């Protein structure tokens, strides 16, 4: 089974480095580093590339508002160079609050913007001089001073709603799904892969402990956080089988903040959106995502208790699956 590991927002740089060192001793497909409002993922990935020498390295995700397409192309080629051709560029739109309220930019035309980003990045990475006249971007005579080890770098797009899913299957090398119920995930993958085969990844909230209740609680806290603060996830889950749950979570969040929102996360949500529980539970649940059509489960590591012990248990749990 191909397995990826997502290391980031909940971890310090030292903890990410320690986890990467452990993964370097196993057959792992890829290590992914997210970027939200904490660490810059490109800097972290550069550090990880010097620790884990074999896995591919992915950004999950770089948003297409806070950096220009030319700058993302520069970062992608730099990371591909320092990793000796192991980089995967994961792109996404982020969200309106983050883009507008924190970056001070206008969140508009996400699908067209994504298309033009991918066009420009691919032209730049190929080594060609870029003159581009799009609806949003207009570049003249841009070229990179450095040459990538490869003339193409894989581009994976984070996709939630239908327009972005359609664009992903039109132009991308892979998709990064997150917080999609298993029944919806299976249907969407089947329909889209019949159009064109791409690499289907899904970041899976992953919490493992010998005490199943502690792991389940950790998963519920993560799910309720994204439902509370992420409007796009909340609306998607609301329209795909979890209307009552998302309504209850958000109402609690608006009244009292995040503290007790996890009490409204049902077992059905946990079973459909995460892999959590004992080691045996986690192995079985990851298999369900593979059975739904996911080529590469990317395990979003959510530590239960001590970070080092929790990560070592996760790796031990999946050691036999790392082939």
Q: What is the mean pLDDT of residues 294-299?
A: 98
pTM for the structure as a whole:
0.96
Q: Is the pLDDT of residue 279 over 80?
A: yes
Q: Which residues pair with 63 in a beta bridge?
A: 92
**Residue 64: what pLDDT?**
95
**Residue 202: what pLDDT?**
98
Q: What is the mean pLDDT of residues 29-36?
A: 94
The residues near 251 (Cβ < 8 Å, ≥ 6 apart) are none
Q: Is the pLDDT of residue 211 over 80?
A: yes
**17: Cα separation from own chain's centroid:** 19
- Cβ atoms of 41 and 34 closer than 8 Å: yes
Residue 98 binned pLDDT confidence (cut-offs 50, 70, 90): confident
Q: What is the mean pLDDT of residues 65-77?
A: 96
Residue 107 binned pLDDT confidence (cut-offs 50, 70, 90): confident
Residue 100 binned pLDDT confidence (cut-offs 50, 70, 90): confident
**Residue 323: what pLDDT?**
61
Q: For residue 118, give the nearest of 94, 154, 87, 86 by alpha carbon.
A: 154
**Residue 255: what pLDDT?**
97
CATH H-level, domain 4-211+273-321: superfamily: Luciferase-like domain (3.20.20.30)
Question: Residue ranges per domain, the chain?
Answer: 4-211+273-321
Q: What is the mean pLDDT of residues 126-154?
A: 95
In the chain, % of residues over pLDDT 90: 90
CA 5, CA 280: separation in Å to the nearest integer?
18
- What is the rounded average pLDDT for all residues in the chain? 95
Q: For residue 93, give the nearest of 75, 79, 108, 71 by alpha carbon.
A: 108
Q: For residue 2, give the nearest of 297, 318, 203 by alpha carbon.
A: 297
Residue 262 binned pLDDT confidence (cut-offs 50, 70, 90): very high
């Amino acid at each position: 089974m191909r397995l990826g590991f997502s290391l980031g927002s909940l971890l310090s740089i030292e903890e990410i480095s320690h986890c990467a060192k452990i993964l370097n001793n196993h057959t792992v497909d890829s290590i992914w580093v997210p970027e939200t409002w904490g660490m810059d993922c490109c800097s972290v990935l550069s550090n990880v590339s010097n620790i884990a020498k074999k896995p591919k390295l992915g950004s999950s995700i770089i948003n297409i508002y806070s950096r220009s397409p030319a700058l993302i192309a520069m970062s992608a080629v730099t990371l591909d160079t320092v990793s000796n051709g192991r980089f995967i560029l994961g792109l996404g739109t982020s969200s309106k609050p983050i883009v507008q309220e924190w970056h001070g930019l206008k969140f508009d035309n996400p699908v067209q913007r994504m298309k033009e980003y991918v066009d420009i990045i691919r032209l730049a990475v190929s080594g060609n001089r870029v003159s581009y006249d799009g609806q949003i971007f207009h570049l003249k005579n841009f070229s990179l001073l450095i040459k990538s080890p490869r003339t193409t770098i894989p581009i994976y797009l984070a996709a939630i709603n239908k327009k972005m899913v359609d664009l992903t299957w039109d132009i991308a090398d892979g998709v990064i799904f997150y917080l999609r119920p298993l029944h919806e995930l299976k249907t969407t993958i089947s329909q889209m892969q019949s159009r064109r085969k791409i690499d289907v990844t899904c970041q899976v909230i992953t919490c493992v402990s010998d005490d199943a209740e502690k792991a389940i609680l950790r998963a519920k806290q993560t799910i309720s956080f994204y439902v509370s603060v992420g409007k796009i996830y909340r609306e998607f889950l609301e329209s795909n089988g979890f209307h009552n749950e998302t309504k209850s979570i958000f109402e609690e969040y608006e009244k009292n903040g995040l503290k007790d929102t996890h009490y409204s996360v049902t077992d059905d949500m946990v079973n459909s959106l995460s892999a959590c529980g004992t080691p045996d539970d986690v192995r079985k649940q990851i298999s369900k995502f593979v059975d739904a059509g996911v080529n590469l489960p990317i395990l979003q590591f959510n530590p239960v208790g001590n970070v080092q012990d929790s990560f070592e248990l996760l790796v031990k749990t999946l050691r036999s699956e790392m082939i």
